[in-house]
Amino acid sequence: MEDTTIAVVGDGFGSLMVYATAIYVGFRPEQIAVYGTSESAVATYYGYASNLGQTVLRSESESHFLPADWPTFAQLDAWSRRNPVPLLRSIRRRYNPGVTEILTEATTVEYRLGYHDRRVRTRVGWLERETSPEPRFLIFDEEARPLGRAKHVVLALGHGPLSFPRCLAQAREDSELGDRVVQAYEPKGYARDGRYVVIGAGIASVNEWANALEAGAKVISLLRNPAPDEQDLNTPRCFFEAFGIDAFQELTFQQRVAFLGQILKGTSPSRRGWIDVVEEGIAEDRFDQLIGEIEEITAGPAGLAVRVSSRHGPDPGWLDVTGVVCGTGFVRSTLAIPVIRRLVEQYGLPVEDDRIVLLSNCGVPGLDLAESRLCVMGLLANNVIPHADTIAGLKYVGRRFVIDCAEAERLRRRRFSSRLALQLSLASETARAIRRTRRTAQIS
C-alpha cells in the first residue's frame, strides 16, 4: 500500500504538471504517488496526436512542462538550436512548439525528477473519504482491492470514451462495415483514390481533411450546421488570463455550460498549411462540403453507402464512400468515467448537465477540505476553468492544488536559489535533448 501526502489519479500531462510542481515547491518524491498504467505521461496525448498527424501544438510558447514558466518554450528552442527565429515568431504570436520538441521536454522532466519511480501502475476504480484518525482518502483498484492512501488527491483522468453519432456507433459493431468507420483520434489510413466523409469542422476534422487530401483521396466534409466559428485555440485568448477566469466564474453554471458549448463547438484554427492543402483539393475537385447528418449506412460499391439528410436545405441523399471519419471527439458526460460515476453515486455529489458542479478551486463539493483536498483537473474542470483541458489550464489548476497541499502540510518550501538551480538545470538538460531532435517546421 502506498501511503503518500499527494496522490495523482491518472498518469497523463496533468500528472506530470502536478508532480513537477510539487517537487519544485519542496515536496519529496516519496510524498507523491501517480496512479495509472500508461508508459509515460505523454503516451495518451501522443497516441491521439499521432493518429491526427499533429506536428505542432495549437498552444504557444508559455505552455510547457518546466515547473516555472521562464524560460518560455520559444526561448528554450532558440537557445537549443542557437537560432533566433522562434523568438521572432513568438513576439508575433506565431510560434507553436513542435510536438517532438515539447514531448522531449516532458520526457526530460519525467526522468530527471524521478516521476517513474513514483508510479503505481494500476488503474484506480474507487476512492473513499476517511475522516479519522485524520482526513484522507483510501484508493482502490478496479476490483476494489486497496492500493494506497493519500491526504490529498487530484483526479487527472483525461477524456472519457470516444463519441460517435448513433447510426455510426451501430455500424462499428457490424463486421462488414465496422473497419470503415473511425474516429479522427484512432489509427487510420487513406486509400489514394478513396472518397471519405469527414464529419465536423473542429481541429481534428480539419486535420483529417488535410491528411486525406495529402494522401490523394477525395474528401466530403459533412457539417451539421452551416457556419462553424473560426479561431485558433479551444478558448479565446483572454480566458487564458486570470481576468478571464474570474469573469467566467461569475457566470451561473448554466451560463458557463452554454458559453462553453458556443466556444468549443466546431472551432478550427486557420493555418496556412491546412488551407493550402484544402484549396488545392478544391481546385482539383477533390474537396466538397455538405450540410447534413448521416441517417443510414450500409455496404456499397465503394465500401460504404451513406444516406445524408439535412435540416438546412435539400437532402444530399445516398453517397458511395470508402470510409467515414468522425471528428466528433469524446463523450461529453463525465458520468461515462467510472471513477466519477461511482463518486457521484456513493457521495450523492451535485451533478448538472452531466458534470459535477465543482467548487471554484476545482474541488469536489462535500469531499474537498482545506486540510485534505480532493480536486479535479483537465477536461473534468472546464466548467470552472474554461481552458482547463490545455497545457496552460493544467498548469493553472495543478499549481493551485500543490500550493494548497503545501499550505495544509505546512511544508518547508524549497529556497529561491534551489528552485532557480532546479529550473535552470532542467532547462539546460531539455535544451541538450532538443538539440538532438529534428526541428519541426512551423505551419502558421
Candidates 4, 44, 221, 267; binder of ligand FAD (CB under 6 A) is: 44
Give residues 283-342 in contact with ligand FAD (rule: CB under 6 A): 339
CA distances, 210 to each of 54, 64, 206 (Å): 11, 27, 6
Q: Please tell me whether residue 374 binds ligand FAD under the rule CB under 6 A.
A: no
The minimum distance between CB 158 and ligand FAD, in angstroms, equals: 3
The C-alpha cell of 245 is what?
Answer: 477566469
Q: Which of 152, 151, 180 is nearest to 164 (CA)?
A: 180
Alpha carbons 233 and 251: distance in angstroms, whole number: 21
The C-alpha cell of 195 is what?
Answer: 472518397
Residue 17 amino acid letter = M
Sole window of 3-11, 169-177, 281-289, 433-441 interacting with ligand FAD (rule: CB under 6 A): 3-11
The minimum distance between CB 193 and ligand FAD, in angstroms, equals: 28
Give the relative orientation of helices 13-25 and 416-435 as an angle to the nearest 10 degrees.
140
Q: Which of 327, 377, 40 is nearest to 181 (CA)?
A: 327
Sole window of 19-27, 47-55, 212-220, 260-268 interacting with ligand FAD (rule: CB under 6 A): 47-55
Q: What angle do CA 287, 293, 298 make, to 5 degrees?
A: 90
Kindly write out the interface string for residues 338-357 of this chain, putting x where it contacts ligand FAD by CB under 6 A and - elsewhere.
-x------------------
Instruction: Give Cα 343 to chain centroid, integer Å.
Output: 22
Q: Are strands 195-199 and 323-326 parallel, antiparallel or unpaired?
A: parallel
The C-alpha cell of 406 is what?
Answer: 503545501
Kindly write out the interface string for residues 51-90 of this chain, putting x where it contacts ligand FAD by CB under 6 A and - elsewhere.
-x-x--xxx---x---------------------------
Kindly write out the interface string for residues 172-211 of this chain, putting x where it contacts ligand FAD by CB under 6 A and - elsewhere.
----------------------------------------
The minimum distance between CB 438 and ligand FAD, in angstroms, equals: 19
Sequence-distant (≥ 6) Cβ neighbours of residue 125 within 8 angstroms: 140, 141, 142, 143, 144, 338, 339, 342
Q: Please tell me whether residue 10 binds ligand FAD under the rule CB under 6 A.
A: yes
Q: Please tell me whether residue 232 binds ligand FAD under the rule CB under 6 A.
A: no
**Helix spans in 215-312 (H):** 242-250, 253-264, 272-283
The minimum distance between CB 70 and ligand FAD, in angstroms, equals: 18
The minimum distance between CB 301 and ligand FAD, in angstroms, equals: 33
Sole window of 42-50, 240-248, 313-321, 413-421 interacting with ligand FAD (rule: CB under 6 A): 42-50
Q: What are phi and psi of 424, to 5 degrees?
A: -65, -40
The minimum distance between CB 294 and ligand FAD, in angstroms, equals: 23
Alpha carbons 153 and 166: distance in angstroms, whole number: 36
Q: Of 222 and 337, which has the nearer Cβ to ligand FAD?
A: 337
Alpha carbons 437 and 430: distance in angstroms, whole number: 11
Q: Please tell me whether residue 389 binds ligand FAD under the rule CB under 6 A.
A: yes
Candidates 378, 399, 402, 405; binder of ligand FAD (CB under 6 A) is: 378
Q: Of 189 and 313, which has the nearer Cβ to ligand FAD?
A: 189
The minimum distance between CB 41 and ligand FAD, in angstroms, equals: 7
| Number of neighbouring beta carbons within 10 Å of residue 1 | 9
| Number of neighbouring beta carbons within 10 Å of residue 25 | 17
Residue ranges binding ligand FAD (CB under 6 A): 9-15, 35-36, 38, 44-45, 48-49, 52, 54, 57-59, 63, 123-124, 156-159, 339, 377-378, 389-392, 394
